[in-house]
Structures are given as structure tokens and as C-alpha cells.
Amino acid sequence: MLKAASDRYPDLRDAVRALCSQFPDEYHRKLDEQRAYPESFVDALTRAGWLAAMIPSEYGGSGLGLAEASVIMEEINRSGGNSGACHGQMYNIGTLLRHGSPEQKRHFLPKIASGEWRLQSMGVTEPATGTDTTKIRTTAVRKGDRYVVNGQKVWISRVQHSDWMILLARTTPIAEVSKKSEGMSIFMVDLGQAVKAGLTVRPIANMVNHETNELFFDNLEIPAENLIGQEGRGFRYILDGLNAERTLIAAECVGDGYWFIDRVTRYATERVVFDRPIGQNQGVQFPIAECYIEVEAANLMRWRACELFDAGEPCGAQANMAKYLAAKASWEAANACIQFHGGYGFAHEYDIERKFRETRLYQVAPVSTNLILSYVAEHVLGLPRSF
Ligand SMILES: Cc1cc2nc3c(=O)[nH]c(=O)nc-3n(C[C@H](O)[C@H](O)[C@H](O)COP(=O)(O)OP(=O)(O)OC[C@H]3O[C@@H](n4cnc5c(N)ncnc54)[C@H](O)[C@@H]3O)c2cc1C
């Protein structure tokens, strides 16, 4: 495997790699063909405790930081797998930890740590409003000791393979709040119960093997005690979690980037055309070298974001920039990898076209590249707001 100059946490990497090596390319390839969820892989990660890495030890987790969590995600992607099947739990736990009540933490975290419950889903995006989250139309109206939810969500991932979902809904109409970011709240939704009582889940067939869905809420009742934090502050809570999410996705893209570079370097060394390895041509070498430089640079920004996050320092700029750089770098590496495999890059059995599709997602979701540029322009450089 390619040696990355900025590899850290070698023991942790070795342990995650050992687990991932039990799930070789054929496993992920077959699931991709069947569009099936990597159940046994996610179970193995859960049993080994990796998906509870950030849960404090008092609740049965390992109490590790974002840096270690990001290594786990990176190694999954670097092994040829795709963390998209399970990364939701890493950042959803953070939302519960930071904003949940002591009772909620005692209720949920030990069961998530033991693997009895999965908290893999977060329902934010809506069809009519897209990135303009403050305009969401899903409402949660308090009626006695319950909230009644009505509305629609789209692209909500892992709902069919999760026990709980964190849902963002409007609790005060936008016309009645002084700032549009106020008046939204987040809730723990028991998915097993909800599908029997007002939640319809409609899967969306898509480009990658990723379980994602449209959700329709028709008078779904949620116990009031499932509100996380204060009513009306949910948007802020979701934003808090995004830095972790972006940093983890950056690490996944770094993992993808190294995977592509590893594969293309090996192939370019072995494949002989015109009586010499194709990698002897600088027209082949230079794009690969360029991709490696870019993945390494993105990796440094990922570590910077981790350091700041784990020190409790503001890290919005670094988390966003890490995600931006890493998603671009992995995509460029994917392009070089498919290009220099010639026709074979398109064959399923090489796994490149699968990883190529998978890594492409990260320039759109969970936040599009344009929105990161907008964040940096306005919040880092102080340029005038555009929306
Ligand atoms: C496979 C997949 C899984 C997902 N999983 C989840 C999930 O689990 N939970 C969840 O809540 N959401 C999820 N999403 C949704 C994802 O976060 C959104 O698709 C993404 O944030 C973009 O929103 P949108 O699709 O509505 O695009 P839109 O908001 O319609 O934007 C379309 C494009 O227009 C551009 N754009 C929009 N506004 C601006 C602007 N002001 N300036 C410049 N450019 C702009 C951007 O390039 C953007 O990509 C998922 C999406 C996918 C594809």
C-alpha cells in the first residue's frame, strides 16, 4: 500500500485495516451490483467498537477524538470500501453529546455504543428548498406531550438501516421569528415506530450503492421528550455538527485519493505498451504525481481541522477547506486512475469505475463545493453576503 507522508495513528490504522481486509474488493463489488447494504461489514465495524469511537467511555464508547474517528473513515475508503454506509453515526453522536440532556445521553448512548441501536440518519434536506435550509417546510407542532410532524424530506440516507434519525423541522413559522435561522428544532425519531405511524419511506435509485430516500411525514407523532436541546435552536445545533461531518468526509476523500493513486501507480508500473511501462512516460507520470501532491496537501488541512476541533477551537474554515480540497483531490485522482487504466478502468472487476462514481458525490453532498466557496468568501474573507 502507498505510504502517505502524513500518516498518523499507525496502530489504529493497522487495526482498522485488519478488519477491512476481511472485506475485499469482491465483497464491495458484489454489493454494488446488487445495490445492497454492506450489513456484515457494518456489523463487524460495530462489534469492533469503531462506530462508537467518539462516544465517551462512561457511556460504553472509546472516548476518542475526531482525529481518530477520521482515521477509521479514511481507512475504510482506503481499503476499497465506502464509509457512506456508516459515517452518519459518527457525526450524529456528536449532536446528541453536545446538545442532548443527561437523560437522553444515558438513554441512547450506551445502546448505540453496544450496537443495539444505530443512529445513522439525519433528515435535513427538502425537495423544495434544497441548500436554503432555513426555508424548510416540514413542521413539528406541539400538542400536549407530543409534537406532530408533517412535511417531506429528500436524500435522507441509511433510514432503512438505522433505528433512529435526527430530524430537523420548523417549530415556529418563519414569519414569526426575528432571524430565519431561529424557530427550527431537532428531534430523535424512532424509525421503527415512525414507519407504522405516519412516516413513508421511498428509496431513491441513484448512481452509487447508497441507501437514500424520500420521506413523507403525515401527522407523525413524536414524544416531546425526544426534542434535543431547546426548542427553536435546532438549526444552530445542526450547524455545530457540520464541522465534524465535513472533516470526516475530507478524510474519506483522502482515503479514496490514496486508493486511486495506489492503484494507478501499480498499474502504470506493470502495464507495458510500446515496449515500456506506461508509467515511464511523463505524460502519465506527471498527472499521477500532481494528484499525489494534491491529496497530501488536502490531508494536511484535514489534520488541521481535526486538531482544532479536538481542542474545542473554532474550525469552520478549516473543516470546509479540508472538505473542498479533499473532494477535489480525490476526484482528480479518480480521473487519472480511470484514464491510465485505459479500457480496463471501465471494467467492473477493477473496481475503479465504482470508486470513481462514489467519490464524485462529495463535491455535491453533504455540502456542494459552491457553498464552501461562498462560506470562505463571506465568513473568512469578509466579502458581502450573496444570499
Ligand atoms: C447520495 C446523497 C445522499 C444524501 N444524504 C443526505 C442525508 O442523509 N441527509 C440530508 O439531509 N441530506 C442528504 N443529501 C442531500 C445533500 O446534502 C444535498 O443534495 C446537497 O446539500 C445539495 O442540495 P440540493 O440537492 O437541494 O441542491 P440545490 O440546493 O438545488 O443546489 C444545486 C446546485 O446549485 C448550486 N447552488 C445552489 N445554491 C447556490 C448559491 N447560492 N451559490 C452558488 N451555487 C449554488 C450548487 O452547485 C448546488 O450543487 C444527500 C444527497 C445525496 C446526493
Domain boundaries, the chain: 10-114, 121-232, 236-380
* Residues forming a β-bridge with 299: none
- Look up the CATH superfamily of 236-380: Butyryl-CoA Dehydrogenase, subunit A, domain 3 (1.20.140.10)
Looking from the CA of 135 toward its CB, the CA atoms found within 13 Å total 8
> Span 264-276, mean pLDDT?
98
Confidence grade of residue 230 (pLDDT, cut at 50, 70, 90): very high
> Could you tell which of 121, 155, 211 is best to mutate to test the pocket of ligand 1, judged by most ligand atoms within 8 Å of the CB?
155
Does 2.60.40.2310 match the CATH number of domain 121-232? no
122-167 pLDDT tens trace: 999 999 999 999 999 999 999 999 999 999 999 999 999 999 999 9
- Decide: residue 357, CB within 10 A, 0-12 exposed, 13-18 middle, 19+ buried: middle
pLDDT averaged over every residue in the chain: 97
What's the CATH fold of domain 10-114? Answer: Butyryl-Coa Dehydrogenase, subunit A; domain 1 (1.10.540)
Confidence grade of residue 7 (pLDDT, cut at 50, 70, 90): confident
Confidence grade of residue 5 (pLDDT, cut at 50, 70, 90): low
Which value, in Å, is the radius of gyration of the alpha carbons in the chain? 21
* 214 CA from centroid of ligand 1 (Å): 14
Instruction: List C-alpha distances in Å: 283 to 99, 139, 278, 290.
Output: 52, 56, 9, 11
Cα–Cα distance, 352 to 154 (Å, whole number): 28
Does 37 have pLDDT greater than 70? Answer: yes
What is the phi/psi pair of residue 237, to 5°?
-65, -40
Number of helical (H) and strand (E) elements in the chain, helices listed first: 12, 10
| This prediction's pTM | 0.97
Ligand 1 close to Cβ of residue 131 (< 6 A): yes
Confidence grade of residue 205 (pLDDT, cut at 50, 70, 90): very high
Confidence grade of residue 240 (pLDDT, cut at 50, 70, 90): confident
> Span 180-192, mean pLDDT?
98
Confidence grade of residue 2 (pLDDT, cut at 50, 70, 90): low
* Residues forming a β-bridge with 38: none
Protein residue whose Cα sits closest to atom 28 of ligand 1? 130
Element (H, E) at 319: helix 316-340
What proportion of the chain, given as a percentage, has pLDDT over 90? 97
Same fold, 10-114 and 121-232: no
